[in-house]
């Protein structure tokens, strides 16, 4: 029976290939890797070396479609909730996204657009190709480079309270380098005078208005969606509704897709794409923050306040961070 099946498959390989491309059948899409799945941290080179749709066998197992440059990119911000947003969006059948962060427009631009496109998943007609690299938002060259690729690219920025974001950023670094200086000592150039050290990336990233000015030189404000990291926790379906509208997608992701995990302190998916099991982000998400001197926290809030007010004006949204 097996030999008969193989004979029929090879006989059909050439003649049947055209049937799927003409729309008479839609092959199954390969499920993307999720955080915690084996191979999530595989390098981009390994992804590029994976079987492609060049042969009948690989086409049969991987499905058909075309690799396209992304029509939408999650450009920031680090520790804002970008991974959660991407994983939530991947539940939508019309969204296909790269699992790893390509870092094309900041670290790998010299490799060229052909290299970048080859990293993308295959999509069918009507599906959106996406990627997310949070460091794009603070990379000076990124806006011009993305605009040069496609002026109509839709951009998504996930933002959260810059003070909380800075502490979360520090917490992540602390988990990797336990011997780093305290958050308090890194915050100030001079603690006696209270001068904030804006050269420290954990502080600098949160000056959202400054970074946004650079993007508005190349993209209209209406082409950028600002997602609240806080509302992603309190009302994930509401924020995902806004994102789906922005991307021109049918509102398929709703309340029924989420449950609140009290242990982790954030929403999780009841059923991830390609799985029948509940799925939460990995152990690197939702780390317990260290206790920070409240005087330092207040000084940071005072520092960020004027930048936050300007950001509210620029975006037309009050994120309520003060």
Does the annotation list 284 as a binding residue?
no
The reply, when asked if residue 287 is annotated as ligand binding, is yes
DSSP string, 242-276: HHHHHTT------GGGEEEETTTTEEEESS-TT-S
Distances (CA, A) of 232 to 4, 113, 245, 314: 52, 32, 16, 21
Binding residue per annotation — 316?
no
Question: Does 111 carry a binding-site annotation?
Answer: no
39 labelled as ligand-binding?
no
Tell me the C-alpha distance between 218 and 155, whole Å: 12
Determine the Cα–Cα distance for residues 248 and 246; give it in Å rounded to an integer.
Answer: 5
264's tokens: 């982790």
Is the four-CA dihedral 39, 43, 48, 50 of positive or negative sign?
negative
Q: Is 79 a catalytic residue?
A: yes
CA distance linking residue 82 with residue 121, whole number of Å? 19
Ligand-binding site membership of 211 (annotated): no
22 known ligand binder: no
**CA distance linking residue 226 with residue 242, whole number of Å:** 10
198 annotated as belonging to a binding site for a ligand: no
Distance CA 285, CA 79 (A): 9
Catalytic residue among 79, 262, 264, 270: 79
Residue 305 annotated as binding site: no
Backbone angles phi, psi at 40, to 5 degrees: -60, -35
Report residue 192 as tokens: 């006696």
Q: Is 191 annotated as a binding residue?
A: no
The strand pairing partners of 156, in sequence order, are 74, 225
Residue ranges of the annotated binding site for 3'-phosphoadenylyl sulfate are 79-83, 160, 168, 285-289
Residue ranges of the annotated binding site are 79-83, 160, 168, 285-289
Active centre residues (catalytic): 79
């Amino acid at each position: 029976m097996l030999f008969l099946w193989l004979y029929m498959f090879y006989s059909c390989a050439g003649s049947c290939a055209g049937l799927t491309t003409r729309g008479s059948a839609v092959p199954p899409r390969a499920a993307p890797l999720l955080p915690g799945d084996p191979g999530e941290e595989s390098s981009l080179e390994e992804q590029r070396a994976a079987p492609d749709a060049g042969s009948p066998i690989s086409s049969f197992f991987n499905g058909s479609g075309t690799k396209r440059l992304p029509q939408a990119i999650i450009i920031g911000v680090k520790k804002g909730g970008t991974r959660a947003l991407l994983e939530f969006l991947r539940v939508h059948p019309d969204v296909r996204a790269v699992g790893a962060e390509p870092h094309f427009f900041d670290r790998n631009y010299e490799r060229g657009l052909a290299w970048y496109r080859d990293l993308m998943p295959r999509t069918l007609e009507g599906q959106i190709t996406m990627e997310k690299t949070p460091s794009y938002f603070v990379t000076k060259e990124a806006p011009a480079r993305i605009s040069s690729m496609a002026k109509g690219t839709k951009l998504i920025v996930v933002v959260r309270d810059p003070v909380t974001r800075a502490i979360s950023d520090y917490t992540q670094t602390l988990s990797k380098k336990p011997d780093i200086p305290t958050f308090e000592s890194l915050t100030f150039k001079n603690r006696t005078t209270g001068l904030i050290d804006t050269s420290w990336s954990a502080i600098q990233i949160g000056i959202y208005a400054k970074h946004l000015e650079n993007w508005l030189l190349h993209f209209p404000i209406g082409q950028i969606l600002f997602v609240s990291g806080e509302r992603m926790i309190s009302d994930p379906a509401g924020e995902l509704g806004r994102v789906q509208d922005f991307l021109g997608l049918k509102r398929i992701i709703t309340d029924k897709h989420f449950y609140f995990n009290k242990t982790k302190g954030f929403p999780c998916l009841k059923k991830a794409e390609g799985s029948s099991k509940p799925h939460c982000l990995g152990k690197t998400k939702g780390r317990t923050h260290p206790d920070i001197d409240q005087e330092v926290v207040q000084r940071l809030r005072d520092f960020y306040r004027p930048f936050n007010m300007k950001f509210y004006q620029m975006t037309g949204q009050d994120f309520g961070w003060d």
